[in-house]
Structure 1
Amino acid sequence: MIIRDGHVLMVRERGRGPSGRHDGHEYWTLPGGGIEPGETAEQAVLREVAEEAGLAGRSVRHLYDAPHPAGWTSCFAVEVGPGEPRLGVDPGLDCDCPRMTGLSWVPLPRSSASGGLMVPVLLMATPDGPPGVAS
């Protein structure tokens, strides 16, 4: 999870369609991916942020673990250096079709009680619009 100026960075991805290519349903997700052999979770987070968003991570902090359709997943807070994100590529794909189709800074809601930002437990995407936030 990369947060800057009250916004979280999200990646728009395309799932596999009936053809087996990434031409199926589009959805929004946090930048991320799997751990490669010999990597720690923190090293994998920094690599994925660089690959998917073109940003250099400065620090990584574990936030929580949550169930995911592919198994348990971990969410990390990542502090990044200056610069604007740029859409990257996924070198681990077994096809030549693009899986990632866009990046967007999505505003986080503010807590009326504390005035601070509320970091969601779950980020949910709607089929036709930008991601919404659920806590």
Structure 2
Amino acid sequence: MNKGRAQCLVTRGNKILMVKHKQYGLEYYCLPGGGIEDGETPEDTAFRELQEECLVRGTNLRLISTVIHDNHYNYTFHANIGAQEPMLGEDPECMDNPILVGVDWRTLDKLCERDRAYLWAAGLFYIEEFAKELDSWGDDISYPSKRLQ
């Protein structure tokens, strides 16, 4: 049975801590996180993964999102790392073929549409600063294929 995934959403001002992955010829950003192991709670998993991937310890501010798709649970915790500076760690499950290639503080305007959509689904709109930004976007259609017409 798939127990799901848990991740941390860490923000500083208008920046979000993201981990850059390179896999199957694709590069993408996502939140630090990973699969829930036997005997772990989703919270334990999220903060273990934050430490493994970004080499920082975090504290849980709150659970901001639980998404269920095909019996797969994805938990997102809003985390605080204080003044610690993240650095690229590793994914112990991918030691022979590393997929983590970077750790960076990203602003929404420096992420592709797909990665931004992922963040909104993870509960980014529950963070006041980002909710205000979302409110400022207006009603224009910005779906990528619509812009090409």
* TM-score when normalising by structure 2: 0.62
Larger fraction in helix: 2
CA distance 1:70–1:4, shift in 2 (3 Å): farther
CA distance in 2, matches of 1:36, 1:60: 22
Unaligned stretches of 5+ residues in structure 2: 1-8, 110-127, 135-149
Q: CA deviation at 1:29?
A: 0.6
1:48-127 → structure 2 map (5 Å cutoff): 48-66=49-67, 71-93=72-94, 96-108=96-108, 117-119=129-131
Structure 1 range deviating more: 47-56 or 60-69: 60-69
SS at 2:47 equivalent: helix
**Cα separation, 1, equivalents of 2:70 and 2:51:** 24
Matched residue, 2:13: 5
Question: Deviations 1:20-58 (Å, cap 9, x if unpaired)?
Answer: xxxx21111111001111111111111000001111112
Report deviation, 1:60: 4.5
Question: Is the Cα contact below 8 Å between 1:14 and 1:100 reproduced in 2?
Answer: yes
Query: Partner of 1:21 in structure 2?
Result: none
Q: Which residue of 1 aligns with 2:116?
A: none
Amino acid at match of 1:10: M
- Unaligned 5+ segments in structure 1 are 18-23, 110-115, 122-135
The Cα shift of 1:108 comes to 4.9
Q: Percent identity, aligned pairs only?
A: 36
**For 2:104 and 2:71, how far apart are their aligned partners in 1?**
24
- What residue number does 1:29 align with? 30
* Residues 12 and 27 in structure 1, CA contact (< 8 A), matched pair in contact too: yes
Cα distance, 1:70 vs. partner? 9.3
Per-residue CA distance 1:93-120 (angstroms, 9 max, x = gap): 2x512110011111258xxxxxx51159
Query: C-alpha root-mean-square deviation of aligned residues, in Å?
Result: 2.6
Aligned-partner residue type, residue 26 of structure 1 = E
The CA distance in 1 between the partners of 2:43 and 2:73, in whole Å, is 16
TM-score (ref. length: structure 1): 0.68
CA–CA separation in structure 2 for the residues paired with 1:70 and 1:32: 18
